[in-house]
Amino acid sequence: MAIATGEPTRQSTFEHHVLDFLAYLEFERGLSRNTLEAYRSDLLQFRTYLEAHHVDVLNAAHADLAAFMAGLAQGSETRPPVAAATLQRKTACLRSFYRYLRRENLVEGDPTADLRAPRKQQKLPKVLSRDQVAALLSAPTGTTPPALRDRALLELMYACGLRASEAIELHVGDLDLQAGVLRARGKGSKERMVPVGREAITAVAIYLRRGRPLLVGAREERHLFVNQRGGGLTRQGLYKIVQRHAESVGLRDAMSPHTLRHTFATHLLAGGCDLRSLQEMLGHADIATTQIYTHLSAERLKDVYFRAHPRAAKDA
């Protein structure tokens, strides 16, 4: 009977630690809801492993965590190996979790101190050429409210390097068209100011004057970009808009909404923008994240070089 009554207590204790940890991440660290959901899923998976091996979360050693990660990396007959990027996230989750437990004086040591995840293979993002961008931005034609909205949306995403989530969360009051600046809400609810170019300002001004009022009608709606019913545009709605216009100019397989953000960054660097300014405009917490665009620019320069130099052709 002691074992039967003790098991729920151990499980509920683990859940109590997880809930406190997630609350700490949300209210003190300002992590996004998506990250919190991912961490919750990771910790529940870790709990299942610990229970199967009769290990208490507060007594887990480095060997327990290493075995857990190794099992994920290797996979099994019923489960494929976990991707390197996901393993890195799970490792970060466990490190943060045990740092929190140690801060709360629930554990003495840190079993994740030497925990390592496989390095994620860096894949260079897809980027559009200037001609491809011009074709995409000119794809929404006509003067109907949806066409004016789509043109303003695409222009603004390329002009400011917005994430999809940032674009759909924009409020009308986040834009100052006179000053040419925009307030974007990034990951963890962090705000940043981004300049807005002339073409985007013009497209948004026309949409606000001739398109959005007809879509919104009499309802009160703060979101800048709205759907056909006048409500805020969803992530799925934005994706469909981008894909529809990309397909119309032959770019369906070359892009996603995030491609415009990658293209914004690459074109700015190619035009002479410094890395620190680009980091601030993209809202990256770590400049190492921004540095991928320097690698991308280098790869594009090499392609141009090998195509153009008479004594550098790869097949020579």
Instruction: Give me the CATH number covering residue 57.
Output: 1.10.150
144 in any annotated domain: yes
308 in any annotated domain: no
**Residue 269: half-sphere exposure toward Cβ, Cα within 13 Å:** 24
Per-residue pLDDT of the chain (316 residues; tens, 9 = 90+): 333 334 444 456 888 999 999 999 988 888 888 889 999 999 999 999 999 999 999 999 999 999 999 888 888 777 888 888 888 899 999 999 999 999 999 998 899 988 887 665 556 678 899 999 999 999 999 999 999 999 999 999 999 999 999 999 999 999 999 999 999 988 777 899 999 999 999 999 999 999 999 999 988 999 999 999 999 999 999 999 999 999 999 997 778 888 999 999 999 988 888 889 999 999 988 887 888 787 766 666 666 677 776 766 655 4
Residues spanned by the domain of 164 = 130-258
d(CA 30, CA 131): 39
Domain count, the chain: 2
Residue 134 near residue 183, CB atoms below 8 Å:
no
d(CA 251, CA 245): 8
284 in any annotated domain: no
Domain harbouring 231, CATH code: 1.10.443.10
Active site amino acids:
163, 187, 258, 261, 284, 293
d(CA 117, CA 26): 25
Helix H or strand E encompassing 184: strand 181-185
